[in-house]
Chain A
Amino acid sequence: MAQRDKEFGSGRGGQVERDVAEPSEGGVEQEEIETRVGWRYTLAQVRNDPTAMAGLAVVAVMTTVAVLATIDGYVLDYWVAETFWYHPLNDPNTVQQLLPPVGFENVNGQGTIDHPLGTDRRGRDMLVRLVYGSRIAMTVGFASTSIGMLGGTIVGAVAGFYGGWIDDVLMRLAETLYAIPFLVLVIAFMAAFGTNIWFAMVGVGVASIPTFARLIRSRVFSVREEAYIEAARAAGVRDRRIILRHIIPNSFAPVLVQATLQIGVAILIVAGLSFLGYGAQPPTPSWGQMLSKSRDVMLNSVWMSVWPGLAILVTVMGFNMFGDGLRDALDPRLQN
């Protein structure tokens, strides 16, 4: 216990410790207690951090919305939206183009509660398009980060574990990918293989591999010197098993934090791609593309450029707040 106190630094560490660690769970191995207390400690830290919890709430709400919208879109063919609300893709029957948000008035009429956030140039409800636009952001965010995390973890763990020329080659490759701006790389990728949201996802994922690879590699350098790795080697465990069962799990905490932040970055990049026309193609709504369409009517219909931007801002901020909280909990040196 004294050991843990030292590890988690001065001040608040000791106090939280008392809340979290139940004394002596007889029969359980020492190491197991250590890890379990570590994770419980982290969770307790995050739970006590109002900013992180607010971020988590935003992330949860946005994910739920996106999942429901995806189910409605792909499985039910927008049946729910059409029946109870408006169709997010098709032009409506009653054309009320560029109607302002509720409480505002312009030449097209008074904003009504039917379209609380106003309508776009083809009279489609802004709110429903924002909700269905969340699909692109969230899908690409999660999927591309998974690709980057998986690829980066493998590359970084192998490079760090073997070192030598393997490390040199892999790290030069990672640096090469890093040297081309993310956006340019993905645009060229999509120009080559097709302008398609799936390619955007893969492109952003591949482009984020170096970030993860660098991170896990530097962790692996310290982990591989640990006594338990040496013990595993002495016991004749194969390299692949050591990497998969010992190195990666023990280097994973910072990757998790980076992944949370990376989802936000991916959402920003996809918004930028869509803004340049390399993203989801109309009529499928995406936030970046809505912003790009709003440029022609920016002067008179400000709301069209405000809402999608706010949606991106809130979502990305949610991921950042949660990621920051997670990092603070895992790395007590930076605790605020």
Chain B
Amino acid sequence: MSLARYAVRRILQGIPVLVGVATITFFLSNAIPGNPVDIMLGPSPSQAQAEAIRSKFGLNRPLWVRYVNYIGDVSPIWIATTSSFPFVELTYGVDLGNSIYYWPTSVTEKIMQRLPQTLLLLVSTFTFALPTAVALGVVSAHRRNRPTDHVARVLSLFGVSTPSFWIGLMLIIIFSFHLNVLPSTGLVMPWADPVEVGMETQLGVVLVSIQHLIMPTITLGTLQMAAVTRIERSAMLENLSKDYVRLARAYGVQENKILRKHAFRPSQLPVITIVGLNLTAALGGAVLTETVFNINGIGRLIVGAISRQDYPLIMGTTLFFGVIFVVGVIITDISYAYVDPRVSYGEEEA
């Protein structure tokens, strides 16, 4: 199977997963007891009022109709009925509907409004976690059973065992309350208007933004860093004991070069996989990190939506998370197949 065919097949496999995510979130969020009408109108609304609101949000129709409509709305291509020949036509575009709590803001708008904060947090997290983890893993494998290795292993053991939000709380206590050097809440975007932030130059804004980012990044990144370090280390150890490395050593190839070329490159494969899979874990962790640091990102949006029974918002944000995950996994799978052609030539998909 060529790489292109593999890629197409992988993308097609993503579609049922997304339909599945949409289905699960639809039925799960509709199973949440009580409904937004009660929350909006208070304890005893008049019959007519409640009915008006119900029909406004389409809650008066049967569940399966709402389900079919929802799947139709979120599908990029869907078949709609028309009154004229040929009676059906294709509709294009994704419509996540409107939020009930933030009426009449659309869910897409709300997500786009919150997305930059979460994205900034995630990007900064992975730029911190990945290089650190790869370096730690390589050094740890190279100096196996020496003090450096022990330190790296203890660090990564702590990293995978510590609740991330607790790291956040401890950092706030130390750096915000006692040393008073880092801000404990909110996030400033590096491209924000200097006037709004109260700085004079754009550079000042960037610096403030970095200050705000340091603690959330460590909070969210420690687990990722530790997990990747462990994988990097064991992959390096495995590759360092391979026959071709021993052969290279026998030939007198320098240890540095062996590390850099022969062992390092194949060791990145499992790391690629785990980063793709960990994307959801990181998004889940973002919920906690955003709560601890009062960052208005998608994580808090989704938790707020669940507690306010804002169906469209719950479904929209979860589906959005699903899309990010599926795209992430597809990209990792394809890049994996690109790096290691055996994957796509084999009959088993990754």
Contacts and interface: CB of A to CB of B under 8 A. Distances in A.
Interface of A: 172-173, 175-184, 187-189, 191-193, 221, 264, 268, 271-272, 275-276, 288, 291, 294-295, 298-299, 302, 305-306, 308-309, 312-313, 316-317, 320-321, 324, 333-334, 336
20 contacts: A173-B20, A175-B20, A179-B20, A179-B21, A180-B24, A180-B280, A180-B322, A181-B281, A181-B287, A188-B25, A188-B32, A272-B288, A291-B169, A298-B169, A298-B172, A305-B166, A305-B173, A309-B162, A316-B162, A320-B157
B177 A181 contact: no
What DSSP secondary structure best describes chain A's contact surface?
A: helix
B173 A181 contact: no
B171 to A, nearest CB: 11
Contact of A221 (B21, B33, B241, B348): B348
A312 B170 CA distance: 14
Query: Which of A192, A288, A306 has the most chain B CB within a 10 Å cutoff?
Result: A192
Interface in B46-64: none
A172 B314 contact: no
Given A178-B280, A184-B284, A320-B157, A312 B28 contact: no
Contact of B31 (A193, A305, A316): A193
B303 to A, nearest CB: 6
A202 to B, nearest CB: 13
B13 A180 contact: no
A312 B169 CA distance: 14
A320 B160 contact: yes
B283 interface: yes
Nearest to B20: A176
A326 to B, nearest CB: 14
B275 interface: no
A7 to B, nearest CB: 15
Interface string B132-169: 00000000000011000000000001101111111001
B157 A181 contact: no
A312 B157 CA distance: 13
A183 B287 contact: yes
A179 B321 contact: yes
B21 A180 contact: yes
Contact of B306 (A191, A333, A334): A191
A127 B349 CA distance: 51
A9 to B, nearest CB: 8
Contacts of A336: 144-145, 237
Contacts of A299: 173, 177
A308 B162 CA distance: 11
Given A179-B321, A299-B177, A188 B20 contact: no
B177 A298 contact: yes
A49 to B, nearest CB: 13
B215 interface: no
Contacts of B165: 271-272, 275, 291
A231 to B, nearest CB: 24
A276 B303 contact: yes
Interface in B298-316: 302-303, 306-307, 309, 314
Contacts of B172: 298
B229 interface: no
A48 B233 CA distance: 22
Contacts of B285: 183
A308 to B, nearest CB: 8
Contact of B163 (A181, A193, A271): A271
Contact of A264 (B24, B25, B161, B241): B161
Contacts of A334: 234, 237-238
B335 interface: no
B27 to A, nearest CB: 9
B279 to A, nearest CB: 9
A336 B154 CA distance: 14
A192 B33 contact: yes
A179 B306 contact: no
Nearest to B291: A276
B145 A309 contact: no
Nearest to B33: A192
